[in-house]
Amino acid sequence: MRLSRRGLLRAGLAGTAATALGGLAAGCAVPAGSTGRNMVLWYWSGGLSDTVVKEATARYGKDVRLKAQQIGGYYRSKLITTLAGRAHIPDIAGLKGEDMASYLPNADQFVDLRTLGAERLKSRYLDWKWQQGVADDGSLVGFPIDVGPVVHYYQPAVFDKAGLPHEPADVSRELDTWEKFFAAGEQLRRRVRGAFLLTDVGSVFEMSLGQGTTRFVDRDRHFIGDGEHVRACWDRAVEAKRRGLVSDIVSGTPDWNSAAERGLLPSQLNASWAAGDLKLGLPKTKGRWRVADCPGGPSNVGGSFLAITKACREPERAFEIITWMLDADNQAQGFVDAGLFPSTPASYGMRRLREPDPFFGGQITMDVYGPAAEKIPVAYNSPYDIALGQPVRDEIKNVGVLGKDPDQAWRDAMGKCRRIADHLGVSY
């Protein structure tokens, strides 16, 4: 067939009309949530155990078609765009722990899980984690997936060479305070050439802050980041720098990998999920790491939640599905599959989780993670915490990396915090 110009134009016109009509029709009939037998679940890669998702799909297949969708890219912005657009909202949505504080003021977008009988399951989950999913009005928005207890990863061979305790139990006991930890760092630097206890000052500040119960903004929308509790964490980080315990290496770079492999950065304070990063990034160091308690006490980094949106047509069914997916058994599976540390203490005693880990020289790491997870303090996370914590975090980095004068840095941070607080309507 020869294509004439007229023919092409007609085809183009028809195409446009069809698109416009289709768009219009779709625009009028966009459903707010899922359709048909579908029950849509949004999460991100590695956010849930694939095995458990597959089993849940089969298990509830006679009632609903569970469509578990991994959403790539910037998850939170996609979820809130969809919620704000009121179209194709998933029935069940994963909420990342670090975003939780920003979802809670909009608790009306989600079903209050207490209305579905969540309270009777409360005792099976870590209390501090449960509290993180509760909004100001008392409604339960998020159902606990995993937690991220912070521990002390270290290389026993290097600690031994430095004349430091190197058995996990000894390290936990003898380096239990920041002061003893720093003293050990000085000894390490003296005895092992080129070795540093800390990669940067950020981890000291961050973990210290996590060990307390107050952060930057309180429940009354008042800025408390200038208080003694933040200042103490700041001073501790500055002290680590002053005592020469901090390397000039950027974490995550080839330099870091190489230094860790050569035993020059033999210690790392990080969450349970960092074990996965170590295994992936430094496969050659298999067997050369151990896990001990974090100096100064337990804290948490990361961990996420599942929530049921208001668009869900069958909240009872959805609740049945998420509580099954997140029971102690399946959370244990989540740890095995994806390194998701369970928020259900009953999982910690299961044989699957008490397997010796060859990467950690056959240590049963659960002996460290489990007790740490149970002792994490409850802290209030304000939706303004990120904005008002950032200047402090930026300035402690300037102290650590650029050697900025700590007093000047603190003044700069506080000055900036006051300006931001003023802008955001937070009192100070």
Partner 1 sequence: MATAPALDKPPAAATGTTAVHRRKGVLSHWRLYAAISPFYLLFLCFGLIPVGFSLYLSFHRWDGLGAMEWAGLAQFRYLLTDTDFWSSIGNTLIIWALATFPMILLAMVTAVMLNSAVRFKNVYRFAYFLPNVTSIVAVAIVFGSVFSTNFGLMNALLQAVGLDQVAWLNTPWGIKVAIATLMTWQWTGYNAIIFLAGLQTIPSDLYEAARIDGAGPVQTFLRVTLPLLRPTLLFVLVVSTVTGLQSFAEPQVLLQTTANESTFSGGPDHAGRTMVLYFFQQTFDNNDFGYGAAVAWGIFLVVVLFSIINWRLVQRRGED
Give the helix ranges, DSSP H, for 175-253. 178-191, 202-210, 228-242
Pairing of strands 290-293, 267-271: unpaired
Which phi and psi (to 5°) does residue 153 adopt? -90, 135
Size of the site for partner 1 (CB under 8 A): 53
Judged by CB, which is closer to partner 1: 326, or 372?
372
Among the residue ranges 44-52, 237-245, 254-262, 359-367, the one whose residues contact partner 1 (CB under 8 A): 254-262
CA distance 66 to 177: 48
CA distance 34 to 88: 6
Judged by CB, which is closer to partner 1: 34, or 203?
203
Place of tokens 């035993």: 263
**Does an H or E element contain 152, and which?**
strand 150-154
Token pair, residue 173, equals 């006991």
The answer to whether 372 and 294 have CB atoms below 8 angstroms apart is yes
Q: How far is the CB of 221 from partner 1 (least distance, A)?
A: 13
Of the candidate residues 91, 112, 206, 357, the single one contacting partner 1 (CB under 8 A): 206
Give which of 353, 376, 37, 55 is closest to 211, Cα–Cα.
376
* Binding of partner 1 by 383 (CB under 8 A): yes
CA distance 39 to 57: 10
| 425 torsion bin: left (phi>0), alpha (psi -120 to 50), beta (else) | left
CA distance 172 to 157: 16
Place of tokens 């469509």: 67
Q: How far is the CB of 9 from partner 1 (least distance, A)?
A: 5
Q: How far is the CB of 294 from partner 1 (least distance, A)?
A: 14
* Binding of partner 1 by 115 (CB under 8 A): no
Judged by CB, which is closer to partner 1: 186, or 277?
277
* Binding of partner 1 by 249 (CB under 8 A): yes
* Binding of partner 1 by 258 (CB under 8 A): yes
Q: Angle formed by the axes of helices 202-210 and 385-397, to 10°?
A: 140
Among the residue ranges 172-180, 236-244, 307-315, 391-399, the one whose residues contact partner 1 (CB under 8 A): 391-399
* Binding of partner 1 by 357 (CB under 8 A): no
Q: How far is the CB of 315 from partner 1 (least distance, A)?
A: 19
Among the residue ranges 58-66, 177-185, 325-333, 379-387, the one whose residues contact partner 1 (CB under 8 A): 379-387
What part of residues 71-110 is at the interface with partner 1 (CB under 8 A)?
Answer: 74, 76-77, 80, 83-84, 102-103, 105-106, 109
DSSP states of 40-95: EEEE-TTSS-HHHHHHHHHHTTTT-EEEEEE--SSHHHHHHHHHHHTSS--SEEEE
* Binding of partner 1 by 310 (CB under 8 A): no
Of the candidate residues 167, 235, 390, 418, the single one contacting partner 1 (CB under 8 A): 390
CA distance 188 to 194: 9
Token pair, residue 95, equals 């909420």
Judged by CB, which is closer to partner 1: 64, or 269?
269
Residue type, 382: S
* Binding of partner 1 by 133 (CB under 8 A): no
* Binding of partner 1 by 253 (CB under 8 A): yes
Judged by CB, which is closer to partner 1: 140, or 271?
271
Of the candidate residues 28, 58, 280, 402, the single one contacting partner 1 (CB under 8 A): 402
Among the residue ranges 45-53, 120-128, 333-341, 393-401, the one whose residues contact partner 1 (CB under 8 A): 393-401
Task: Point out which residues bind partner 1 (CB under 8 A).
Answer: 9, 12-13, 15-16, 19-20, 74, 76-77, 80, 83-84, 102-103, 105-106, 109, 199-200, 202-203, 206, 248-256, 258-259, 271, 277, 301-302, 383, 386-387, 390, 393-394, 397-398, 401-402, 416, 419, 423-425
